[in-house]
Amino acid sequence: MFGENYIQVETAQHLAGLFRERVNLTPNVPAYKEFDSASEVWQVSTWHEMSQSVVLWQQMMLGLGLKRGDHVAIMAGNGRNWVLFDQAALGLGLVTVPLYAEDRADNVAYIIDDADVKLVFVQGQEQWQALIDCDESMPSLQHIISIEAPTDTDLAKDKRMLSLPVLLATTDSKAQLITENLEPDTMASIVYTSGTTGRPKGVMLSHKNILSNAWGGLQCAAVDEESVFLSFLPLSHMLERSAGYYMAMMAGSCVAYTRGIPVLGEDLLEIKPTVLISVPRIYEKVFAKIQAGLQQKSGFAQYLFHKAVDIGWRRFEYKQARQPWFLGLLLWPVLNTLVAKKIMARLGGRMEIAISGGAPLPPEIAKVFIALGLPLLQGYGLTETSPVLTVNREAANIPHSIGQALPNVRLRIDEQNSELQAQGDSVMLGYWKNSEATQKTFTSDNWIKTGDCASVDELGHYYITGRLKDILVLGNGEKVPPADMEMAMVLEPLFENVMVIGEGRSHLTAIVTLEEEQWQRYAAKHNFSLNDLQSDKLKEKVQAKISRQLESFPGYAVIRDVLILNDHWTVENDMITTTMKVKRPKVLEKYDAEIDAMYERILNRHKSHN
């Protein structure tokens, strides 16, 4: 069933056409909501108001000599300005290159150089400084536009540095919105992959690629102009861009931009969103806070929580027609009032859809949230597929699956290695300046290889069973998929990050980093300090926690030793990607000596037992 004000792909033709049609269809409907720090109030912009601002940005870009086909980049946080930049550029036929605002300077410089970027739009001094430090590697860059007015000192250092307020003040306010006549297959954006194993690759996405993916997603989610999205996942991430930006525009929904992750809880209460799109890490953090808070409550309160989860989950299974009615359902109204509603109220109390994608969602976390009333749907995709390939539907939700294929996506599983492969209008044009990588990513009959092993059930739900590149092959030839083990282990609130090790080794081991608040409580309770991280006593307790998390796994899932770290893995120190995925090669390289010492201890223990 199409929404009354949905804009179909055929009508839009391209992304700039989508914006034009939305402005024409619902000009006075709220489009975006953003907190203004100067006035300390939330400001709302209608579609007509957004269109007027896009006109000014287009005049600014034309004044700088940009022409159709030029590449322009944006390195700023989510907000109204991100949309204005994107829509102004798309309307002029420019190719946008999204950059992560918190990315490493060397990575940003590499992308700007590789993508032949002529103009980059930055938030302010912090992003500008990161760029200027890598100046020599960006010969194509002609202009740097800053939202925050640069100082005279900044301008003296680099004449390419320009002030957005000054530029906009000189534009022609009487100009009209420009929407170039673009073919659907025209390249719209070059989106760089997160690069867990080396330099990122530029994914070339066309207008048709992105539009078709947004349209496919819209057929799987009941959103309309009454829906309110809360946006906090970076717009540089294709999941947020396609689903939280273009799909919302197709439906005519309002998007509110959070002030930041530290105040996400406050913004949820203020905005009361109906739609939330996130990566698993955010749900994991909320889950950990719930668990930590539960530990401080009385035994009776803990009993009520676990009872609510138990009954709530069985109620969900009943509503999904996977379990018959049972007497315990009569308890739900009471448990809902005492437990579930209070937790859902912290998320604003109006949530209708919560999407998780970008990485596997631990089933136990999905179970708890769903049981308490959050309509949490896991999906799956790749940057190379714009990005969504599958998603669960509310009426057919199997949380430990990645869902069913989007209506306009075709999937198959390779018989030889069980790899999931895809075709459809959302599949990329190829990799920028990298025909060799493009060729390797497609089969001879033009299906894109996902790199993930999968299975499918009789109802069309897909399940990821492992990643071809991430499979650990032990010294005895046994193959172990580490992802499921890591998902289970990170459910332990004490752990911030987890990585299973074992490639070419005799046994499995693990590296864990500690969650700061949880570690402080745990250390105080058990009389530990940071000097005890490698002590046998602490290792014994940590391995016991790991064993509990893995007790339902097959016999191979035994962690023989653990490296406990108080380190923080961040984008800045190159341990995780901008999409919060651990860079396995970087971790192995950094802790090479400690890992060797860990396996030496295992060997010595084995010798002493013999």
Amino acid at 363: P
Q: Is 426:386 a contact under the CB 8 Å cutoff?
A: yes
The closest alpha carbon to 111, from 400, 336, 432, belongs to 432
Q: What is the mean pLDDT of each run of 10 residues along the chain (610 residues)?
A: 82 98 97 94 97 96 96 95 98 96 83 95 78 73 86 68 88 89 97 74 97 96 94 93 98 96 92 94 86 89 96 97 95 97 95 91 91 96 96 96 97 94 98 95 97 94 82 73 85 92 88 93 92 92 93 82 93 82 88 90 72
Helix (H, G, I), strand (E, B) or coil at 44: strand
Burial of 62 (0-12, 13-18, 19+ CB in 10 A): middle
The closest alpha carbon to 214, from 240, 177, 178, belongs to 240
Query: Going from the N-terminus, what domains does the chain have, and what CATH number goes with each?
Result: 9-182 (3.40.50.12780), 278-425+434-467 (3.40.50.12780), 472-609 (3.30.300.30)
Whether cis (ω within 30° of 0) applies to the bond prior to 387 is yes
Q: Quick one: CA dihedral 91, 36, 358, 321, positive or negative?
A: negative
Amino acid at 382: L
Q: Is 266:231 a contact under the CB 8 Å cutoff?
A: no
Structure tokens at 341: 């509603």
In whole angstroms, how far apart are CA 562 and each of 155, 238, 515, 542, 602?
A: 51, 35, 16, 8, 11
Among all chains, which residue has been given the structure tokens 């693990």? 510
Render pLDDT for 366-413 as a digit per residue (tens, 0 to 9): 999 999 999 999 999 999 999 999 999 999 999 999 999 999 999 999
Sequence-ordered strand ranges (E) for 371-435:
376-381, 388-391, 404-405, 409-413, 419-424, 430-431
pLDDT for the residue 1: 47
- Say how far apart CA 388 and CA 382 lie, in whole Å: 7
- Say how far apart CA 221 and CA 79 lie, in whole Å: 23
pLDDT for the residue 172: 79
Where would I find the H helices in 170-263? Answer: 207-218, 238-241, 247-251
CA angle 247, 248, 251 (to 5 degrees): 90
Among all chains, which residue has been given the structure tokens 């300090």? 529
In whole angstroms, how far apart are CA 162 and each of 7, 72, 83, 121, 135?
A: 36, 15, 19, 10, 16
Q: Is 378:402 a contact under the CB 8 Å cutoff?
A: yes
Q: Is 40:266 a contact under the CB 8 Å cutoff?
A: no
Q: Is 231:243 a contact under the CB 8 Å cutoff?
A: no
**Continuous segment of H or E residues that includes residue 77:** none
- Say how far apart CA 362 and CA 414 lie, in whole Å: 25
The closest alpha carbon to 411, from 372, 381, 435, 375, belongs to 381
Where would I find the H helices in 69-221? Answer: 80-91, 105-114, 125-132, 152-157, 164-169, 207-218
What is the side-by-side order of every strand in the sheet holding 448-456?
A: 409-413, 419-424, 448-456, 462-467
CA 27 remoteness from chain centre: 30
pLDDT for the residue 471: 75
Among all chains, which residue has been given the structure tokens 């409580």? 521
Helix (H, G, I), strand (E, B) or coil at 124: coil
Count Cβ atoms below 10 Å from residue 191 Cβ, excluding itself.
27
Q: Is 200:192 a contact under the CB 8 Å cutoff?
A: yes
The closest alpha carbon to 410, from 400, 399, 425, 395, belongs to 425
What number of H helices and E strands is found in the chain?
23, 26
Cα distance from N-terminal residue to C-terminal residue, the chain: 69
What is the side-by-side order of every strand in the sheet holding 559-565?
A: 495-501, 508-514, 559-565
- Say how far apart CA 280 and CA 269 lie, in whole Å: 21
pLDDT for the residue 554: 73
In whole angstroms, how far apart are CA 129 and each of 71, 108, 311?
A: 21, 12, 54
The closest alpha carbon to 26, from 48, 57, 50, belongs to 48
Render pLDDT for 239-250 as a digit per residue (tens, 0 to 9): 999 999 999 999
**Continuous segment of H or E residues that includes residue 2:** none
| CB neighbour burial string for 135-145, b if at least 16 within 10 angstroms, e if fewer | eeebeebebbb
Q: Is 95:69 a contact under the CB 8 Å cutoff?
A: yes
Structure tokens at 192: 């760089």
